[in-house]
Structure 1
Amino acid sequence: MNRPEMDYYAVLDMPRSATKEELALAYRRLAVRLCPYREKQHEQDLVPLAQEGRLTHLAPMGEAKQWAYINMAYDVLGNELNRAVYDRYGEAGLFEGVMLPNGYFHPYQYHGDHMKVYSNVFASYSPYANVIDAITNPPSLYASREHGIGVRTKDPNTERILPLSLEEVRSGCLKLMHVWRQEIVDAKASKMEKRRRTLKIQIYPGTTAGTRYCFKEEGDRYPTSIPGDIIFITADKPHPEFERRDMHDLVYRYDINISQALTGFSFMLNTLDKRKLKIVITDVVYPGYTKIIPLEGLPKCRNLDAANAIKEANTSINEFGDLYIEFNYIFPKYLTPAMKSMTREFFAEFRKLELELEEEEEKQFQ
């Protein structure tokens, strides 16, 4: 990629050989200083006096930006699969996705919830963490005549497939998803009603299959539980003419006869964005031959840098994939005796010509 890549190990001020435990400890030391909700009097529990004034390469930045960087860095390095992809393919492979031996690694996108990373690390750090958390951040409770008093737990998430046509992937679009959910219309009587809610999903050009769009706590709203998340997962609709390959390339198949394969031909191709391309083939189309049209595939969406990735994926189109044209051969089902005789004579003459050319080449090398 034509941009500098972020070194997540340098963000945490740790070498690449650091263990998972060492990375977690490095994150804790930085988070205690940078967390906007920290209590100053507890900093020295994890940060010795000798290290209070220690500067890192992030020090010139504001604390808010440093806080965002360390959380994204640990979200990547604290996950074994994300770390393995980052170590081998760099930030480009992490953000764009790569094909692994056991399957496809979907493009990584930071969720942006810094406190989620913080709480995952610190939840079990102290033996009194659960007690302290119950006092400082009490759980959500419910109280009603019908159900009494209790702790509200979160409902399971709902996942739905979002089919996208290749035209929508090529140009991008806005999808309006209508969902029906249970809602409380009378809290005193615990009366519930099914109502429709519209969720908006911005599909950027080049969106890959498997991209997840999460709507936090948009599920059914019951009085005794926290609504679950609604997650939409993109999938490609079958297309009558094109097929997606390797995320951003397109494949088009065209039927030809033997005469066209040997003598050349041309045809018009309608693109996904309603343009017309004239394809001219002058080569002999032998088995396995593929015509490649550069930059006529799907657009590639890339993150510009780690700072933008924290907020949202970059929407600008930098490059396009390629268009691969493959050919299907249609053989004649019947030849007359005269046609067979002419075909034999043609290939006999063709073979003589090949031998003459081979002899001339041998003479030139002698």
Structure 2
Amino acid sequence: MNRPELDYYAVLDMPRNASKEQITLAYRRMAVRLCPHRDKKYEMDFVPLAQEGRLTHLSPMSETKQWAYINMAFDVLGHDLYRAIYDRYGEAGLFEGVMLPNGYFPPYQYHGDHMKVYEQVFASYSPFANVIDAITNPPSLYATREHGIGVRHKDANTERIIHLSLEEVRTGCVKLMHVWRQEIVDKKESRLEKRKHTLKLIIRPGTTAGTRFCFKEEGDRYPTTIPGDIIFIVADKPHPTFERRNMHDLVYRYDINLAQAYTGFTFFVDTLDKRQLKIVISDVVTPGYQKIMPLEGLPKCQNLDAVKAIKQANKRIEDFGDLIIEFNYLFPKYLTPEMKTLTRNFYKEFRRMEQALEDEEKLHMK
């Protein structure tokens, strides 16, 4: 396409002040007629001018060259920045690059993929996709004595929250959800009745809060509509011992006094799967201290496609989050004068010994 200055507006047969919508419409009109992949079976329905010998304002150029020109023209005029540069500096400025207030605009180069431009506009390889889809996938219709004939539209979806305990999340489970919905109970589709319907939810181990289980078109049945979807949204049920964090970690809080914080201690944690963990703390428990037990949290649930889910249905999950143990300090609510004196003497002696230890360490460093 190396050539002298080309008037892109003339290629699309549009004035220079045409709106972006007008330019897009002009491209669509010409692309439908010139696209080499058009379906000629439907062409007469969409392009009546084809009866005139397929003449366009770009004739007598070959259709191949017309097709190339209109795609390059729209690639420039359909892009706000390219169009602004072209309007001000012409095709030479567009191809050679110009200095703009916010920096240098590099030379424009048409990628040469005409169908790429075409598909961006039509959102399809074929401009007749909507019609072909309507033929191959016709809309659902209703025909009743009471309502006549019409197109069925889908009802609104129904969303419900399902609360899961952390034990259920840990092991996985099956939930049978009972819903009441309107159903048609006669052949004439004139009588409706509320009936109980059971839906089966398979909860995978480690399922996270916010997970949505969608049952397609399981909502109320009416003669003139398509049933809406029923969607169950997972939420965590409050647990007396643990709290979920970062989707797969568990947090356990343990109360300690100052003596334990200084000297260490041992305690036991009952896990969600009925085991007992022995926790030994030998460090000084400073504010913000955490004890992390790796792989003692919740299973890490993975989003699997249908094929992988079937293959891994009975596979043991070995990837888990962590158990994070946090500590709450218990302070005495009241101290007698004697208790305060003992506490002062204790910390005075404690500080003296601490200082002696620091001095000894400095001496060894020298």
Deviation sequence 1:158-182 (CA, Å, 0-9, x none)? 1111111101000110000001111
Match runs of 1:1-366 below 5 Å: 45=37, 125-188=125-188, 190-302=190-302, 308=307, 316-366=316-366
Residue aligning to 2:84: none
Shift of 1:303: 5.5
2:56 aligns to what?
Answer: none
Q: 1:185 to 1:172 in 2, by over 3 A?
A: same
> Structure 1 runs of 4+ off > 3 angstroms?
121-127, 306-316
Letter in 2 for 1:237: K
Instruction: Report deviation, 1:247.
Output: 0.6
Give, in whole Å, the separation in 2 of the partners of 1:311 and 1:124: 34
Is there any run of 5+ residues in structure 1 with no aligned partner, and where? 1-43, 47-120
Match of 1:37 in 2: none
Cα displacement (A) at 1:308: 4.0
The residue type paired with residue 361 of structure 1 is: E
- Across the aligned residues of Structure 1 and Structure 2, the Cα RMSD in angstroms comes to 2.5
Distance in 2 between the 1:332 and 1:202 partners?
A: 49
CA separation of 1:133/1:307 partners in 2, compared to 1, >3 Å: closer, same or farther?
A: closer
Note if contact 2:208-2:301 (Cα within 8 Å) is conserved in structure 1.
no
Q: Residue 275 of structure 2 aligns to which amino acid in structure 1?
A: R
Q: Which amino acid in structure 1 is aligned with residue 37 of structure 2?
A: D
Q: Contact 2:37–2:126 (CA<8 Å) still a contact in 1?
A: no
Output the CA distance in 1 between the equivalents of 2:156 and 2:308: 27
How far did residue 301 of structure 1 move?
Answer: 2.4
Question: How has the CA–CA distance of structure 1 residues 184 and 124 changed in structure 2, closer, same or farther, with 3 Å as cutoff?
Answer: farther
Give the SS at the match of 1:194. strand
CA distance in 1, matches of 2:265, 2:259: 9
* Contact 2:152–2:224 (CA under 8 A) maintained in structure 1: yes
Change (3 A) 1:323 1:158: same
**Aligned equivalent of 2:26:** none
State the distance in 2 between where 1:231 and 1:189 align.
26
Contact 1:301 1:316 survives alignment (8 Å): no
Unaligned runs of 5+ in 2: 1-35, 39-120
Q: Does the CA-based 8 Å contact 2:181-2:220 persist in structure 1?
A: yes
Change over 3 Å in CA distance of 1:212–1:250 after alignment to 2 = same
Residue 177 of structure 1 aligns to which amino acid in structure 2? M
Distance 2:153 2:166 in 1: 40
Check whether the contact 2:167–2:273 (CA below 8 A) recurs between aligned residues: yes
CA distance in 2, matches of 1:155, 1:213: 18
CA 209–189 in structure 1, closer or farther in 2 if over 3 Å, else same: closer
SS of residue matched to 2:332: coil
Instruction: State the 1:129 CA deviation.
Output: 2.6
Q: How many residues align?
A: 248
With over 3 angstroms needed to count, the CA separation of the structure-2 counterparts of 1:310 and 1:284, relative to structure 1, is: closer
User: What is the SS of the residue equivalent to 2:318?
Assistant: strand
1:260-286 Cα distance to aligned partner (Å, 9 max, x none) = 222222222211112222222222212
Judging changes above 3 Å, is the alpha-carbon distance between structure 1 residues 126 and 141 closer, same or farther for their aligned structure 2 residues?
same
CA contact (8 A) 2:248 2:299 kept: yes
TM-fit CA distance, 1:331 = 0.6
Task: Give me the whole-angstrom Cα distance separating, in 2, the residues matched to 1:267 and 1:246.
Answer: 25
Q: TM-score, normalised by structure 1?
A: 0.63
2:45 alignment counterpart:
none
Partner amino acid for 2:336? T
Change in Cα spacing, 1:288 to 1:159, as seen in structure 2 (3 Å) is: same
Q: With the length of structure 2 as denominator, give the TM-score of the two structures.
A: 0.63
The one-letter code matched in structure 2 to 1:45 is H
Deviation at 1:309, TM superposition (A): 5.2
* Structure with larger Rg: 2
Deviates more, 1:254-263 or 1:221-230: 254-263
User: In structure 1, the residue corresponding to 2:199 is in which secondary structure?
Assistant: strand
Counterpart amino acid of 1:199?
A: L
Q: Which amino acid aligns with 1:326?
A: E
* Residues in 1 aligned to 2:149 and 2:325: alpha-carbon distance in whole angstroms: 66
8 Å CA contact 1:219, 1:230 repeated in 2:
yes
TM-fit CA distance, 1:239: 0.8
Please tell me the residue identity of whatever aligns with 1:243.
E
Paired amino acid for 2:254? Y
Bigger RCO (CA 8 Å, 6+ sep): 1
Deviations 1:85-128 (A, max 9, x none): xxxxxxxxxxxxxxxxxxxxxxxxxxxxxxxxxxxx99755443
